[in-house]
Amino acid sequence: MNLMYNSTRNVDNRVTASQAILKGLAGDGGLFVPERFPELDIPLESLSGLSYQETAYAVMKLFLSDYTEQELKDCISRAYDDKFDNREIAPLHRAGDAWYLELFHGATIAFKDMALSILPYLMTTAARKNHETHDIVILTATSGDTGKAALAGFADVPGTKIIVFYPKDGVSAVQEKQMVTQKGDNTCEIGIRGNFDDAQTGVKRLFSDRALEEELLRDGFCFSSANSINIGRLVPQIVYYVYSYGHLLSEGVIAAGEPMNVVVPTGNFGNILAAFYAKKIGLPIGKLICASNENKVLYDFFQTGVYDRNREFVLTSSPSMDILISSNLERLIYHAAGGDASRNASLMRELLLTGRYSVTAEMKAAIKDFSGGYATEEQTFAEIRRVYEQYDYVLDTHTAVASSVYHTGFAQDCKNTPAVIASTASPYKFARSVMAAIDEKYSVMDDFALIDELHRLAGTPVPRAIEEIRNAPVLHDTVIEKDEMEMAVRHFLRKE
């Protein structure tokens, strides 16, 4: 029997996995969630012997049950190949008392590659299975990393077009250069004068605009999403938690059944939700530690049970976490409410109207495995320096937020349980901040000189993704106001 997905706002809005991937959003404002949680159907011990690709199949077949074995295996082998510069795909690096799960070995050197390398294959397979004849238009808001990873994944994929909106002044120099140099006739990158929340809210509005949808259908297009609101993003992210458990088993760090804790630098709540789903299918995860930067709306939520976005938006050195409306939290709220879609819908309505909602004590108890922490800019920089000086290992700013949260708030009490810290970006992607953290004297150097200096310090090769943009020409330079997004979509789709 196929595992079905329903909307977090209406359980009668049900679809198969491939339909959920095609649609992206549920259409009623909600997100698709699995109707029930499947269970890992292989013994935990056996995880230690599986390759990344084998682990991916073992996990993804549980969630994407309407894909055939051959379809899934094709998607997996095309996604996780030598685009990754490490054969393990997601290696674990030990430094001191923590294990850094390196999720940045893909084409765009951030963890978004883990899912966006496979999403285009899952989506085109889904289109075929569901006899979709329209071209799929991927609409995506990015805080910096999703954009490039989605562009790289969908560039020149037949039957698709991709439009990415990013906050013009809210991404790092390398992130912006990566996007504006993207090749591919079917790609479009647009800067907006606003922040990530503006971009994400604008994209959600486009998705729920029925008139626009009908107009585009007539022109041969349908929308989907590459953001982590798409279940096709979330499911591939469950894989690396299962894989890291296998790695700890094979190193003899734990015995089968013993727990590991996970620490995740969080923005839109996709990555850590995937860890929660891993736990739900039977992976022994103890604590789920949600690390925030100074935009600590999630920390406050886990402390108090009140989600309140009414606060100043802070631009930090970990831009991919500069978010006040964490979309995927809606899925956790839905699960915490015991699958009560109308309760969830009313909380989300409150969020839209007042910017705030609070959960009941009962719901709070249902998510007690989560703990929150946050790191200030100063703590983040100090952590980069500490780990570099003690272990000769250079963290990027996002990973450093998580590492700081773990070491200041949790390490003491969690000595006997190994901590896996999701390492979400290569330090090369945020070289300016990383180098400034190590020594202020670097602040006068230009971006590429810094990269060469980082190479000298870290002793790791400069990633291909960086070499490619060094001299690449800028191909996209559109900047618009945040209320011009619909016009921009029409313009791009009509111009051919």
Ligand X SMILES: *Cc1c(COP(=O)(O)O)cnc(C)c1O
Least distance (Å) from ligand X to the CB of residue 319?
9
Which residue of 120, 267, 372, 409 would you call a contact of ligand X, by CB under 6 A? 267
Interface of this chain with ligand X, residues 97 to 136, rule: CB under 6 A: 110-112
Q: Which stretch binds ligand X (CB under 6 A): 182-190, 262-270, 280-288, 387-395?
A: 262-270
Annotation says 112 is catalytic: yes
| Catalytic member of 23, 112, 287, 296 | 112
Does residue 200 belong to the site contacting ligand X (CB under 6 A)? no
* CB-nearer residue toward ligand X: 124 or 327: 327
Least distance (Å) from ligand X to the CB of residue 444?
26
Least distance (Å) from ligand X to the CB of residue 361?
26
Interface of this chain with ligand X, residues 217 to 256, rule: CB under 6 A: 228
Does residue 290 belong to the site contacting ligand X (CB under 6 A)? no
Interface of this chain with ligand X, residues 418 to 457, rule: CB under 6 A: 424-425
Which residue of 265, 373, 418, 427 would you call a contact of ligand X, by CB under 6 A? 265
Does residue 147 belong to the site contacting ligand X (CB under 6 A)? no
Does residue 398 belong to the site contacting ligand X (CB under 6 A)? yes
> Residues binding ligand X: what is the number (CB under 6 A)?
17
Least distance (Å) from ligand X to the CB of residue 137?
22
Distance (Å) of CA 6 to CA 127, 230, 282, 334: 19, 13, 22, 11
Nearest to 416 by CA among 260, 284, 287, 264: 260
Which residue of 269, 277, 374, 410 would you call a contact of ligand X, by CB under 6 A? 269
Which residue of 89, 92, 262, 321 would you call a contact of ligand X, by CB under 6 A? 321
Q: How far apart are CA 55 and CA 61, in angstroms?
A: 10
* CB-nearer residue toward ligand X: 107 or 489: 107
* CB-nearer residue toward ligand X: 122 or 127: 122
* CB-nearer residue toward ligand X: 263 or 489: 263
Does residue 372 belong to the site contacting ligand X (CB under 6 A)? no
Which residue of 7, 182, 186, 271 would you call a contact of ligand X, by CB under 6 A? 271
* CB-nearer residue toward ligand X: 150 or 493: 150
Least distance (Å) from ligand X to the CB of residue 108?
9
* CB-nearer residue toward ligand X: 8 or 266: 266
Find the largest Cα–Cα distance for the chain: 61
Least distance (Å) from ligand X to the CB of residue 189?
16
Q: Give the Cβ contact number of residue 413 at 10 Å.
A: 9
Which residue of 268, 292, 403, 404 would you call a contact of ligand X, by CB under 6 A? 268
Structure tokens, 214: 């009908």
Q: How far apart are CA 171 and CA 152, in angstroms?
A: 17
Positions touching ligand X (CB under 6 A) are 110-112, 145, 228, 265-271, 320-321, 398, 424-425
Catalytic residues: 112
